[in-house]
Amino acid sequence: MKILHKSPDYPFLLAFLLLIIFGVLMVYDASVVYSLDVFGERYHFLLQQSMWAGLAISLFLFSFLTPYKFLQKISPILYYIGVLLLIFVLIPTPLSPKIYGAHRWIIFPLFGGLSLQPSDVMKFGYVLYLSILLSKSYTTSFTLIKKFFLATIIPASLIIMQPDFGSALILCASGIAMLFITGLPLKYFLISLPMGILSAIVAILGSNYRRDRLMSFINHSLNSTDPAGYHINQVLIAIGSGGVFGLGWGQSRQKYGYLPEVSADSIFAVVGEELGFLGCTILVLLLFFIIWRGILIAEKCKLPAKKIAVIGIISLFAFQTLLNILSQVKLIPLTGVPLPLISYGGSSLLFTCAGFGVLLSASREC
């Protein structure tokens, strides 16, 4: 079958580029006070995020222009590189220090202390690799489930050990979404549901860090002094201060040393404070517009592996978006995951853009 090359999905591309530009501007806005305090100048994080955005766009173009068959061939390599990086980051070395109580980052001193989060590499490699596994024909449903389980349990367990329950949850949920569209009978999902819930409970209660976050969420009060309780209080103050129209661009008060992770995990709170309910609504609509367009692209894909990969890529984006925003409005405990395309940080931006390159490439060939 000859594949016709059409134009990429331009509405998706436009929304994607708008969010990257908005993200760079918000990182500068949210970080300017901290940048002045620590580095003595306003533009440190703006320059850093602009550099990451440039690299991310380059990676986006590379994955967009790379033939999908080539990505299929190297997907096992990407998967196993991700696994090796996840193992490496758990070994205490100068390159993998413990930061904020977790081993999540590999630091590169020769490049100005730039860091890489292996879980982001893993999620990208996992989606491409799993799409190949799930698109093959198997004699029984059990064989399909076994392949899925083995490909998922290894990276998910390593990510939980960092600890990073949020990223592990995103990876597993995306994998389940990919498995669902293979046409696997619903009974297998219903049978597995109690085991999944039990595994999540064990993972949460088996870690003091995760248990403390959960208890802080359940027993939350405005007088909370523990780190998680203080964090969510400052988030709620920021969002509540914005009202309908916000305090105005650059007018956040919470970024003056009150709001933790102000340009990273908590950047949605700064959007709420400065741009108000209206600004948050527009941002959420843009994020969900991307998710909707991604699902439409998947529906049009004729090749099973490509359809599954597109669902995996857009699921990673959707679940990460949901976890971040829901935690910021106190519907779930704080997760520590960034808001994709908006929060400060290179790894998430790089591999989100790499995934979107694959997705938009698929939109030309569906």
Q: What pLDDT is stored for residue 277 in this prediction?
A: 97
User: According to the model, what pLDDT value does residue 316 have?
Assistant: 98
At 1, is the pLDDT very low, low, confident or very high (cuts 50, 70, 90)?
A: very low
The token pair at 226 is: 């523990």
pLDDT single digits (tens) 164-197: 999 999 999 999 999 999 988 888 888 888 888 8
Residue 222: predicted pLDDT:
64
Q: What percent of the chain has pLDDT over 70?
A: 96
Contact 363, 8 (CB under 8 A): yes
Domain ranges of the chain: 68-345
Collapsing DSSP to helix, strand or coil, 301 comes out as coil
Name every residue whose Cβ is closer than 8 Å to that of residue 219 and which is 6 or more positions away in sequence.
none
Q: How confident is the model at residue 223 (pLDDT cuts 50, 70, 90)?
A: low
Rounded Cα gap, residues 331 and 323, in angstroms: 9
DSSP state of 247: S
In the prediction, which pLDDT does 83 show? 98
Of the listed ranges 29-33, 207-211, 256-260, 317-321, the least confidently predicted one is 207-211
The verdict on pTM exceeding 0.75 is yes
User: Phi and psi for 165 in degrees, rounded to 5?
Assistant: -65, -35
Average pLDDT in the 355-361 region?
A: 96
Q: What is the pLDDT of residue 363?
A: 85
d(CA 147, CA 145): 5
Residue 220 has pLDDT above 80, yes or no: no
Confidence check: pLDDT of 107 > 50: yes
Amino acid of residue 62: F
pLDDT for 194 equals 82
The set of residues, in sequence order, having a beta carbon less than 8 Å from that of 234 and lying 6+ positions away, is 254, 258, 259, 260, 266, 269
**d(C-alpha 235, C-alpha 223), whole Å:** 14
Q: What is the mean pLDDT of residues 212-229?
A: 75
**Is 80 exceeded by the pLDDT of residue 210?**
no
Average pLDDT, the chain: 91
pLDDT at 2 (0 to 100): 46
- As a whole number, mean pLDDT of residues 339-356 equals 96
Q: Which residues contact 157 (CB under 8 A, 6 or more apart)?
A: 168
Q: Which amino acid is at 85?
A: L
Q: Characterize 252-280 residue by residue with b for buried, 16 or more Cβ atoms within 10 angstroms of its Cβ, and e for exposed.
A: bebbeeebbbbbbbbbbbbbbbbbbeebb
pLDDT at 32 over 90: yes
33-71 pLDDT, tens digit per residue, is 999 999 999 999 999 999 999 999 999 999 999 998 899
Residue 285, Cβ neighbours under 10 Å: how many?
Answer: 12
Positive or negative torsion for Cα 172, 69, 13, 59: positive
125-166 pLDDT, tens digit per residue, is 999 999 999 998 777 788 899 999 999 999 999 999 998 999
pLDDT for the residue numbered 205: 75
CA 342/CA 148 separation, integer angstroms: 31
* 47 contact partners, CB below 8 Å, separation of at least 6: none
In order, the DSSP letters of 135-203 are HS--SSHHHHHHHHHHHHHHHHHHHHTTT-HHHHHHHHHHHHHHHHTTT--HHHHHHHHHHHHHHHHHH
- Cβ atoms < 10 Å from Cβ of 297: 24
